[in-house]
Structure 1
């Protein structure tokens, strides 16, 4: 290659997996640190928030919303129930199933947890224009869609 020539970069040559993982881990760490006063982890908060907006879900439905395995969601719900944030009620249409509901204790902390999440998003996006963030999220969303499509292709084989 001659001096002054540039190699054309290819999208697949850009390594970004570790960066996404690092961002996720740091976000979780800081959220958990800020939310400790409420006694909820980030995973517990996500489950509580979904149930707050969609009370009466079954555990399997909640797992789909959270994109988690049902067994892992079961452990989260067990802890939330033990701490008084969620209650299981029998499903009137299926005696083997339970429906999930938030308690008054959850309703009392929802606002505070939303403020924590909003504050962390504000701190994490400091110096980033709204348009830049929208573009980055659109790209990450497309990457997720591509990976989900791969997963579906794998499942059909």
Structure 2
């Protein structure tokens, strides 16, 4: 059996296309709430586990700590997060989500289900379950390869 490339018939990379289209749609649906997908994902992490360190957020979001700092700055200026000194290490801050952040995460959760509904239209539950299982394996393979570099 020949392994297929991830390029589509028009030679576009299908995974990047899917991620890009989802991000564009997600950002468009978040725009009335003055929120970007990246800012929203940071809030999701903090609502799930409040009081994370900046480096913890960077690890969980798979982004650089400098990028994390800029996201925190923007969210803090808008009252969605607050930096507080770490109780045992004055050089480190913990990041806490505000009540307003919790409301935005509720909106995001609704939008996620809407985007999923749009993306998954016409796909059987069985096919979707198989697809997601395979994508999680691929994600793990790629993360493992990166860790070995």
- Between Structure 1 and Structure 2, how many residues are aligned? 145
* Partner Cα distance (1:140, 1:119) in 2: 20
Task: Summarize the Cα distance change of 1:144–1:113 in structure 2 as closer, same or farther, 3 Å threshold.
Answer: closer
Indicate how the Cα distance of structure 1 residues 152 and 107 shifts in structure 2: closer, same or farther if over 3 A, else same. Answer: closer
- Residue aligning to 2:6: 15
Report the TM-score when normalising by structure 1: 0.86
Post-superposition shift, 1:149? 2.2
Show structure 1 runs of 4+ deviating over 4 A. none
Alignment of 1:26-105 (within 5 A): 26-105=21-100
CA root-mean-square deviation: 1.4
- Secondary structure in 2 matching 1:79: helix
- Stretches of structure 2 lacking an aligned partner (at least 5 in a row): none
With normalisation by structure 2, the TM-score equals 0.91
Structure (1 or 2) with the larger CA radius of gyration: 1
Shift of 1:148: 2.0
Partner of 2:141: 146
Please give the alpha-carbon distance, in whole angstroms, between the structure 1 residues aligned to 2:54 and 2:41: 14
3-state SS of paired residue (1:14): coil
1:78 shift after superposition: 0.9
